[in-house]
Amino acid sequence: MGKDGESSSSFDFHPALGVNNIKNIIPLILDHENVQYSNWVELFECHAHAYNVLDHIDPKTPKPTDLSGDMWTRLDSIVKNWIYGTISEDLLETILCQQIWDKLKAIFQDSKQTRAVYLENQFNALHLYNFADIS
């Protein structure tokens, strides 16, 4: 416990929290017209590795076990902001729209099977005697 009864996790500090301006570290702006993707990726991966957040961009890197869920989520937001701050406005609009699109798709299509079973059960529960007007 920390001072005033707060848990010690509220005082945790991670090196990524100290990055104030990602553009000082990654001076490239990734865009469609001036394609420097491999250079941008190299700088970004080096930076993420140095600040121990590589797991946020590389699915093969395991999540650290010593971080709370809240801290991991906070670091994930920081890494997203690093990405957002080093890409062009066009790419930013594209990926933000794509994320929204993918999230909506996941909500409705991932549950498509469940929804179909639910609707089939509702249909099978219908009894014609409840519909006297049907001929």
Structure tokens given for 31: 């865009």
Strand partners, 30: 87
Alpha helix positions (H), 14-111: 22-25, 37-50, 69-85, 89-109
Structure tokens given for 21: 């301006």
pTM here is: 0.65
pLDDT string in tens for the chain (135-residue length): 344 444 444 457 787 877 878 888 889 999 988 878 999 999 999 999 998 899 998 889 998 888 888 889 989 998 998 999 999 999 998 888 888 777 777 777 766 677 777 777 777 777 766 666 665
Our CA angle for 31, 36, 41, nearest 5°, is 100
